[in-house]
Amino acid sequence: MNAVKHPIKRSFVFFLVPDFTMIAFATALDPLRSANRMLGYEAYCWRLASIDGKPVRASNGVECAVNTSLEEERKKMAGPERPNMAIVCSGINVERYQNKSAFAWLREEYNRGVAVGGLCTGAHILAAAGLLSNKRCAIHWENLPGFSEAFPKANVFADLFEIDQNVYTCAGGTAALDMMLKLIGDDFDESLVNRVCEQVLTDRVRSPTDRQRLPLRARLGVQNSKVLTIIELMEGNLSEPLSLIEIADHVDLSRRQIERLFRTEMGRSPARYYLEIRLDRARHLLIQSSMPVVEVAVACGFVSASHFSKCYRELYARSPQQERVDRKQLLAA
């Protein structure tokens, strides 16, 4: 008697980009393997692709062999091997990735009804391919400032993952696990998700809107709720900084009280702390984008490029221009 053949629920193509993040790739792929094992049949299948079919080196130095090239993937589009989803796996240095062939392939897949996804910084490549206009998406917090400036039409959020119709994006790291568990749960049920969670030793599927970064309390080691509220206000108003009077009104404290609290909890004045987080955002923009320095200055709340350069040099011991030159030299090395 012949065994019953179960239909494959979904097939995936994982498109590997040089310097892709291994943890995001692994935590996206392994839940599919575990689900197959729990189900007892191949509900999910996948293959790995690169531009030319050659191995791709991850950001941790591990080289990963692939199954197909994009030329081969194009041939599969019209046949039975067309995937249900094409997922871009990228990581560091994504802002310098410019491959028209890859962008065109992603558009072709999407236009043929194939879902597209991005792990870690994959949203950057999807946006460069023109697939994220007016779409909700997620990207790693470190790349969010540069992404927001480069792709203003994309609705980017500092969430773990976002699913907008046929577009799946996640912030990388273990957020890829949460996104894939959500997908498995939609295909099957919570029981299967729980069994996969037990297999990979995680106790729950996090919500898409859970924080990417540690809460301020844990990240900064600060317990005072007023100080935390003030820092959240600062982080939410970088391009148009609030005055200390406006902040004082928000938290119902005097300027002098805020000054004392910051000296005690943060070891510096509120004005100094505010300046440092604006300069930190500026540094991310200089590294991740090609924005002119004057535009970076404006985006981070500085009234002039000269004042911005002076403050930047004082904190980082180099000018914004030198930061960018050093970054280009590092990438070229």
Handedness of CA 70, 76, 81, 86 (dihedral sign): positive
Burial class of 223 by CB neighbour count within 10 A (0 to 12, 13 to 18, 19+): exposed
Cα-atom radius of gyration of the chain, to the nearest Å?
23
* Tens-digit pLDDT profile for residues 185-225: 999 989 999 999 999 888 888 888 777 776 667 677 888 88
More confident residue, 222 or 49: 49
25 closest CA partner among 210, 214, 180: 180
Rounded average pLDDT over 87-111? 94
Res. 233 pLDDT band, cuts 50 70 90:
very high
In 3D space, the residue among 118, 180, 114 whose CA is nearest the CA of residue 151 turns out to be: 118
pTM of the model: 0.78
C-alpha to C-alpha distances, 296 to 114, 150, 175, nearest whole angstrom: 37, 12, 29
- The model's pLDDT over 173-183, given as tens digits with 9 standing for 90+, comes to 999 999 999 99
Q: Encoding tokens for residue 232?
A: 């959240």
Confidence of residue 34 (pLDDT cuts 50, 70, 90): very high
252-262 pLDDT per residue, tens: 999 999 999 99
Strand duo 167-170 + 115-119: pairing: parallel
> Looking at residue 331, what is its pLDDT?
57
Residue 27 has, within 13 A of its CA and on its CB side, a CA count of: 24
Map out the domains of the chain with their CATH numbers: 10-200 (3.40.50.880), 216-330 (1.10.10.60)
What is the pLDDT, as a whole number, of residue 7? 64
Task: Give the mean pLDDT of the chain.
Answer: 91
CA dihedral sign of residues 157, 150, 242, 276 = positive
Residue 1 pLDDT greater than 50, yes or no: no
pLDDT per residue over 109-142, tens digit each?
999 999 999 999 999 999 999 999 999 999 998 8
The pLDDT score that the predictor gives to residue 213 is 72
> pLDDT-derived band of residue 333, with 50, 70 and 90 as boundaries?
low
Mean pLDDT, to the nearest integer, of 155-168?
94
CB neighbours of residue 327 within 10 Å: 16
